[in-house]
Amino acid sequence: MTASAAPPAIPPLPAPNSAEPFRRQPAWELALAVQQLALCAQPFAWGAADCLTTPADAVLAITGVDPLAPWRGRYRSRQEAEALLAALAPDAAPEDRLSAVVAAVMAAHGAPHIAPAFAQHGDVALCRWPEAGRGERPRDHCGFVSAAAVMLPARRGLTQVPLAQATAAWRIG
């Protein structure tokens, strides 16, 4: 009987300004519109259409840089996602891990933290989503800004949460 190989180590969060900076590409608006249409047709799925992959896919469409690249494919369930967030932000309270990870990744790419009221089309935002968790208290969710809303993954594609509900935002490019 042979022992199975240990899973690869989870890459740590990068240091601020240590990753490729986000720069909006020519025709980024068209690329984001195409990505948004694709996301509208994609049902929620851990590791494929969730609060990490959805904004990362938007940033990838806008900039050509995948902020989630080191961690893509490392989870396929809520428990695995929570374990990944715990590994990346072990000092954060469980309810703060998503925001800690998003803030660290945005800082690594030089994306400035901005007041949500100043977020523009294509920026990344965190918000409390009251409908989240089916009976649980609201949790932070991450999405991207489109018009005056934060686009978040939902059971059937994307849902819009008013930008006024955003608790944090980062300028992309």
| Secondary element (H or E) of residue 18 | none
User: Is it the case that residue 7 has pLDDT exceeding 60?
Assistant: yes
Neighbours of 8 (CB within 10 A): 7
Give the domain ranges of the chain.
Answer: 28-170
Residue 139: what pLDDT?
80
Query: pTM for this one?
Result: 0.91
Residue 128: what pLDDT?
84
May I ask the CATH class of domain 28-170?
A: alpha beta
Burial of 30 (0-12, 13-18, 19+ CB in 10 A): exposed
pLDDT band at 138 (very low <50, low <70, confident <90, very high): confident
User: Is it the case that residue 21 has pLDDT exceeding 90?
Assistant: yes
pLDDT tens-digit series, residues 33-88: 999 999 999 999 999 999 999 999 999 999 999 999 999 999 999 999 999 999 99
Please report which residue ranges of 6-127 form alpha helices under DSSP H. Answer: 28-40, 53-63, 78-88, 97-108
The angle at the Cα of 75, spanning 71 to 79, to the nearest 5 degrees, equals 130
Report the C-alpha gap between 152 and 127 in whole angstroms.
9
pLDDT band at 100 (very low <50, low <70, confident <90, very high): very high
Q: Distances in Å between the alpha carbon of 88 and those of 36, 99, 164? A: 27, 11, 28
pLDDT band at 134 (very low <50, low <70, confident <90, very high): low
Residue pair 126/99 in contact (Cβ under 8 Å)? The answer is: yes
